[in-house]
Amino acid sequence: MIRLERLNKFYQQGDEKIHVLKDVSLQIQQGEFVAIMGPSGSGKSTLINIIGFLDHQFMGQYRFKGESMIDQSLSDYARLRNQNVGFVFQNFKLISNLSVAENVGLPLLYAGHRRKNIADQVNDVLSSVNLQGVGAKLPMQLSGGQQQRVAIARALITRPSFLLADEPTGALDSHTSQEILKLFIDLNHKSRSTIIMVTHDFQVARLSQRIIRILDGRIESDRSVDQ
């Protein structure tokens, strides 16, 4: 489904050009649960931003479901994000003045649905992450773990091709982290959801099926986890 070939990424910082991703090539199949590991600053976020169509400025080839991402316009990228990717960020990224239900339903509005027709879908996805009855609350009124589950519900609501989680447990305590991870594992097992998760915690990463290690912008290793 995802196929990167000799991907290179540079950031311009003042006069300097920083080489952040160096000849990254990898493939991810439908239904995989992949963990991306590496020290801070090694390029993990940069990589998944490109995979998730957030960043269109790169060199090399990215094919998604066989189609090249190189010549897509900005609005094509917006549509690709809306239809194919569910994002889960470290700090949840919920809109603070919208209710939980409105946050969760927002991707559907951008997909062209009407506000009044999406209530059932929102309720269903909220109960699938064990958050019944909090739709009317504001994000601030929920605990961190609950907010992250709202974010996961929002990521799931468009039934995307894959979930991208950038250190999803980084802001949570270990108990809550376990709950969130269990949710990801369930989604991968029961719904065959493709999940790509960035983490620097091996205890988290070993719950996945495959670990890709990145060091200084290069893939250092890429192996499946021994069960």
Partner 1 sequence: MKITELFFTALRSLLTNRRRSILTVLGIVIGIASVITIISLGKGVEKATLKNLQASSSGKQSTVVDYYADDLNSTASGFEASDLALINASQTSFGLVKADIVSDNDGSAESEASINGADQNVTVKLLKHPSSDLEILSGHNISQNNIMLADPVALISKKLATSFYSSVNQALNTSVTINGISYQVIGVFKEDMGLDDVAISKTTYERSNNGEAGNKLKLTFNRGENVSKQTKKIVSLLNKQGSHHLQGSYEHMDMGAILKGVGSVINGLTYFISAIAGISLFIAGIGVMNMMYISVSERTQEIGIRLAIGASPKSILLQFLLEAVLLTGMGGVLGFGIGCGLAWLISLFLPFRAVVGLESFILAFGVSAIVGIVFGIFPARQASKKNLIDILK
Ligand X SMILES: Nc1ncnc2c1ncn2[C@@H]1O[C@H](COP(=O)(O)OP(=O)(O)O)[C@@H](O)[C@H]1O
Q: Which residues bind partner 1 (CB under 8 A)?
A: 45, 49, 54-55, 74-75, 78-79, 81-83, 87, 89, 93-95, 97-98, 106-107, 109-115, 154, 158
Residue 11 binds to ligand X (criterion: CB under 6 A): yes
**Is position 169 an interface residue for ligand X (rule: CB under 6 A)?**
no
Burial class (CB in 10 A: 0-12, 13-18, 19+), 52: buried
Rounded to 5°, angle at Cα 134 from 125 and 190: 25
Closer of 154 and 213 to partner 1 (Cβ): 154
Scan residues 39-78 and list those touching ligand X (CB under 6 A). 40-46
**Helices (DSSP H) in the chain: which residue ranges?**
44-51, 74-84, 100-110, 119-128, 144-156, 174-190, 202-205
Contact partner at residue 78 from Mg ion, ligand X, partner 1, none, CB < 5 to 8 Å by partner kind: partner 1
Minimum distance of partner 1 from residue 81's CB (angstroms): 5
Q: Specify whether the CB–CB gap between 100 and 125 falls below 8 A.
A: no
Structure tokens at 194: 């493709």
Instruction: Please state, as a whole number, how many other Cβ atoms lie within 10 Å of the Cβ of residue 53.
Output: 22
Closer Cβ to partner 1, 54 or 171, answer by number: 54
Q: How far is the CB of 166 from Mg ion (least distance, A)?
A: 6
Interface residues with ligand X (CB under 6 A) are 11, 13, 18, 20, 38, 40-46
